[in-house]
Chain A
Amino acid sequence: EDQVTQSPEALRLQEGESSSLNCSYTVSGLRGLFWYRQDPGKGPEFLFTLYSAGEEKEKERLKATLTKKESFLHITAPKPEDSATYLCAVQAGTALIFGKGTTLSVSS
C-alpha cells in the first residue's frame, strides 16, 4: 500500500535555528515527490517537486532532498514567517498521496 509518513508531527524552533523535516514513503513506482506549505485557513501552496534520488531543490531558506526511501526539507536560519504546516506528497498513478504534515513554529 502506498504510504507517506512525516516526522516530527510538530517542531518548535528559535529564529535562526536550522533543522530538517522528514518524509518517508513507500510507493510502487515513484513518479514524483512534492512539498507543499499550508498556512492556517488556506489551501496548500506548492514548494518543490523531486523526481529521482539525489535530486535537490532550493528556494530561499528551504532545501529539499530525495533518496530512494525518504525526502528531507532542510530549513536554514528560519524566520517567524516560515511558521506553517509542511506537507509531503507522492504521486501514485493519477493521485497525490499526502502525509499528515509537520507543523513548524518559529519564534523570535
Chain B
Amino acid sequence: EAGVAQSPRYKIIEKRQSVAFWCNPISGHATLYWYQQILGQGPKLLIQFQNNGVVDDSQLPKDRFSAERLKGVDSTLKIQPAKLEDSAVYLCASSPRARYNEQFFGPGTRLTVL
C-alpha cells in the first residue's frame, strides 16, 4: 500500500514570496490533515478536511495560509506572503474517516524562509 506522498521535499524562498505544497493521501482515506512542525516542537494542526469539506481550520493563519482539497483526494497548502516564522516542516497526514488513531503521515516538506 502506497503511503502519503508530499512534494516538494525541500523549499527555500525569500520572505514575502509565495509557496505551495502538495499532498496525495493514502487511497480511500477520507480525512486529510495538514500540520506545521517547527524545529524542536511537536506537530500543530493547521487544517483538517473530511472529503473536500473543512472540519477544523481554527489554527490556520487565514491572512496568509490557504488550503484546498479538490475532489476529496489531493490537497494543496499555500502560503502567501511567507514570513520568516513560517520556516518549518509541513506534514500531511491521512486517515480513514476521522479515525485519529490511524493517522498516517507523509515525509513532510521542509520550508526555509530567508
A99 CA / B40 CA spacing, docked (Å): 10
A49 CA / B103 CA spacing, docked (Å): 11
One digit per residue, 1 when the CB lies within 8 angstroms of any chain B CB and 0 when it does not, for chain A 5-36 equals 00000000000000000000000000010100
Set A34, A41, A49, A95: member contacting B107, Cβ < 8 A: A41
Binds A, one of B41-49, B62-70, B76-84: B41-49
Q: From residue B105, how far is it (CB to closest CB) to chain A in Å?
A: 3
A72 within 8 A of B: no
One digit per residue, 1 when the CB lies within 8 angstroms of any chain A CB and 0 when it does not, for chain B 79-105 equals 000000000000101000010111111
Question: A98 contacts B44, CB within 8 Å?
Answer: yes
A49 CA / B102 CA spacing, docked (Å): 9
Question: B101 contacts A46, CB within 8 Å?
Answer: yes
Question: A4 contacts B55, CB within 8 Å?
Answer: no
Contacts A34-B101, A94-B55 given; does A43 touch B4 at CB 8 Å: yes
B44: A residues at CB distance < 8 A: 98
Q: Which of A32, A42, A99 has the most chain B CB atoms inside 10 A of its CB?
A: A42
A98: B residues at CB distance < 8 A: 42-44
B25 within 8 A of A: no
Query: A-contacting residues of B (Cβ < 8 Å)?
Result: 4, 40-45, 48, 55-56, 59, 91, 93, 98, 100-108
Please name 19 further chain A to chain B contacts, defined as beta carbons within 8 Å, in addition to the given A91-B100, A95-B45, sorted by A numbering: A4-B42, A34-B100, A43-B4, A43-B91, A44-B43, A44-B91, A45-B105, A46-B104, A87-B42, A89-B42, A93-B56, A94-B55, A94-B56, A95-B56, A96-B43, A96-B45, A96-B103, A100-B40, A100-B41
Query: B-contacting residues of A (Cβ < 8 Å)?
Result: 4, 32, 34, 41-46, 49, 87, 89, 91, 93-96, 98-101
Q: 21 A-B residue contacts at CB 8 Å?
A: A32-B100, A32-B101, A34-B100, A41-B107, A42-B107, A43-B105, A43-B106, A43-B108, A44-B43, A45-B105, A46-B101, A46-B102, A46-B104, A87-B43, A89-B42, A91-B100, A95-B48, A96-B45, A96-B103, A98-B44, A100-B41
